[in-house]
Structure formats: C-alpha cells, structure tokens
Amino acid sequence: MSDQGPDATYQAALDRGEFRLQRCGDCGGAVFPPRVLCSHCGGASLSWHRAEGLGTVYSCTTVRMQPKGEAPYNVSLIDLDEGVRLMSSVTGIPSDAVRIGQRVRALVEQRGTAGILLFVPVEDKP
C-alpha cells in the first residue's frame, strides 16, 4: 500500500479514469468523501473498490455566473445506489433539463492530467 492520504488515492484513481469508493470491512458501509476511518462505525479497515456509479439526482442547481461565452453548468447532489451522497455535475443534457429523481451514471472525464467525476443521464429500466 502507498502512504498517500485517502484524498490523493481517490484523485489518483480518477486520473487513471477509475471512480473508486471506500468500503468499510467492519460494517460494510460505503464511505465518501475519502477518509481514514469509517464514517459509520469508526473502523479503520477501509478498502478501495471500483464504484458501480449508478445513482439518483437528489438536488440540482444551474450555475449561470460564468465567464462570457461559457455555457451555464449544472451542480447536483447525487445519491449513489452504493449509499453515499456526493456533489458533482450532470453533463450531456442542458443543465435546465436535469431533474430531481433522474437516474444518472458516473463518468470520468480527463481534463489535462486530472480526472474529473461527472454524471450522465441514463434511461430508467421499467
């Protein structure tokens, strides 16, 4: 194991194009943001695994304060099926079209050498 902190481990995975979450070996809970101790039970046996990345939009906002010429962007809170809530952005559709309750899937986009976590809409299976 490397001695880098959990935030650096998380970002390093994104930089490789992988969305990873921590899971607690003691209580089984998913942990986000990255931590040293489990946010549910305080246990220290956290391990990294590749996230499924499916979730539901919990809340969404359109940010219009942008430099001239740049499109407004979307800031959403996403509830992952894996049990954590995180802040991200839904892309691939106009920000105004993002709806609370919409199903989304994680997508890692490379910007330079950095991986950025975004979400794209998915069709809900009946």
Min separation Cβ 121 and Zn ion, Å: 32
Q: Which residues contact 1 (CB under 8 A, 6 or more apart)?
A: none
Give the residue, chosen from 16, 17, 26, 110, that forms a contact with Zn ion under the rule CB under 5 A.
26
Min separation Cβ 31 and Zn ion, Å: 7
96 binds Zn ion (CB under 5 A): no
**What residues numbered 42-61 form the site for Zn ion, per CB under 5 A?**
43
CB closer to Zn ion out of 29 and 83: 29
Give Cα 10 distance to the centre of its chain: 11
**Structure tokens that stand for 113 in this block:** 């050498």
CB burial of residue 104 (10 Å; 0-12, 13-18, 19+): buried
Give Cα 118 distance to the centre of its chain: 7
Q: What pairing do the DSSP bridges indicate for beta strands 46-50 and 30-31?
A: unpaired
* H/E segment holding residue 6: helix 6-15
Min separation Cβ 38 and Zn ion, Å: 3
Give the residue, chosen from 13, 24, 30, 98, that forms a contact with Zn ion under the rule CB under 5 A.
24
CB closer to Zn ion out of 26 and 81: 26
Give the residue, chosen from 8, 16, 33, 41, that forms a contact with Zn ion under the rule CB under 5 A.
41
What is the contact surface with Zn ion in residues (CB under 5 A)? 24, 26-27, 29, 38, 40-41, 43
